[in-house]
Amino acid sequence: MVGIITYGVYIPRFRIKVEEIARVWGANPDDISGGLGVYSKSVPDLDEDTATIAVEAARNALRRRAIDPQEIGAVYVGSESHPYAVKPTACTVGEAIGATPTMTAADYEFACKAGTAGIQTCMGLVASKMVKYGLAIGSDVAQGAPSDALEYTAAAGGAAFLIGNEDPIAEIHRTCSFTTDTPDFWRREGQDYPRHGGRFTGDPGYFRHIDGAVRLLFAQTGKGPKDYTYAVFHQPNAKFPQRIAKMLGFSPEQIRPGLVVPRLGNTYSGSSMIGLAATLDCAKPGDRIFVASFGSGAGSDAFDIEVTDAIESDEFRRGAAPSVEKLLENPVFVTYAQYARHKGKIVMQK
């Protein structure tokens, strides 16, 4: 059965508090924190970008399991912030972990769900025996225009999932997607920041597509919310995943381990994948995990996952790489000025 062989996460240590951003723009921090349910977001260091975060996440995945990188036949990196418009991040990652040159690679973009699209691609390649292992990564140094609502949540981080069919720590029983042409959030070539349709990103975007994918998967599997130990949803803020969970019949307890957004912010392509990683950090054999990502534009990928005995076997060393909780601990809080410098918002020379 195709499944997750190992996984790893990377989150920069820097954070900025929502109230610090609100201070700069003269907004009421309580209104914003209360409205979004987000209190701080991660900030990349000066020299961190989507590629370095993807590499760190991939290395953390490989720390947990002795895999010959030469057996990784595919690398896909999903992001909205690939450092190059033309030149794949996936090649940099493949090179850094020693998977080159006998591999296929490509960069994916599907707003916040390109990483889970990579998981689906790897599942197909593994199931068809075209590759032994496929590496799917969601990584972003998320963009949000200064003073835009997105700026309060757009964060940095990534997660890497190695997909294979030999002794996975979690089997992926089934996946399906729900996709339409819905322009709720977009960034054109050459633009620095994405734009969005305000409230249109909610009901016609996030909620319609996740609801569509989840109901499709339930119809295909005959399962329902009560069949799962945990559930993870894309988390652009804390309110949306809590609302969709309630709408679909999942309990607050089911989504709690994977709800990382209040401290982390929205890591775009990393968001639901870091949520899944945080859930795997505390999962036990036999636990069933439901995952639904969301990407604007728009679509949702749903996954029916079951944790196996391998997660507690000697071959898999969960503690060999930092847990999501560990990565969220002991943050270094920065001022808006430092944040602006880290994010390259200060123009040094034209």
The residue ranges that bind another protein (CB under 8 A) are 28, 31, 196-200, 203-204
For helices 89-97 and 50-63, the axis angle rounded to 10 degrees is 30
Q: How far apart are CA 115 and CA 124, in angstroms?
A: 15
State in angstroms the smallest separation of the CB of 159 from another protein: 32
Q: Which is nearer to another protein, 95 or 148 (CB)?
A: 148
Among candidates 194, 168, 206, 197, which has minimal Cα distance to 299?
A: 206
Q: How far apart are CA 348 and CA 325, in angstroms?
A: 36
Q: Which residue has the tokens 């890591």?
A: 267
Rounded to 5 degrees, what angle do the CA atoms 215, 220, 223 make?
70
Among candidates 303, 213, 291, which has minimal Cα distance to 259?
A: 291
Q: Which is nearer to another protein, 124 or 183 (CB)?
A: 183
Q: How far apart are CA 332 and CA 250, in angstroms?
A: 34
State in angstroms the smallest separation of the CB of 270 from another protein: 27
Beta bridge partners of 193: none
Q: How far apart are CA 152 and CA 237, in angstroms?
A: 10
Q: Which is nearer to another protein, 31 or 166 (CB)?
A: 31
DSSP 271: H
State in angstroms the smallest separation of the CB of 187 from another protein: 15
State in angstroms the smallest separation of the CB of 336 from another protein: 22
Q: Which is nearer to another protein, 210 or 217 (CB)?
A: 210
Are 75 and 108 in contact by the 8 Å Cβ rule? The answer is no
State in angstroms the smallest separation of the CB of 267 from another protein: 25
Which residues are part of the catalytic machinery?
80, 112, 234
Q: Which is nearer to another protein, 87 or 199 (CB)?
A: 199
State in angstroms the smallest separation of the CB of 320 from another protein: 47
Burial of residue 191 (number of CB atoms within 10 Å: 0-12, 13-18, 19+): exposed
State in angstroms the smallest separation of the CB of 216 from another protein: 19
Encoded amino acid at 241, one letter: P
Q: How far apart are CA 165 and CA 118, in angstroms?
A: 16
Rounded to 5 degrees, what angle do the CA atoms 125, 186, 333 make?
90
95 Cβ contact partners less than 8 Å away, ≥ 6 residues apart? none
250 Cβ contact partners less than 8 Å away, ≥ 6 residues apart? 225, 228, 231, 290
CA gyration radius, the chain? 19
Q: Which is nearer to another protein, 29 or 322 (CB)?
A: 29
Please state whether 222 falls in left (phi above 0), alpha (psi between -120 and 50) or beta.
left
Q: Which is nearer to another protein, 84 or 200 (CB)?
A: 200
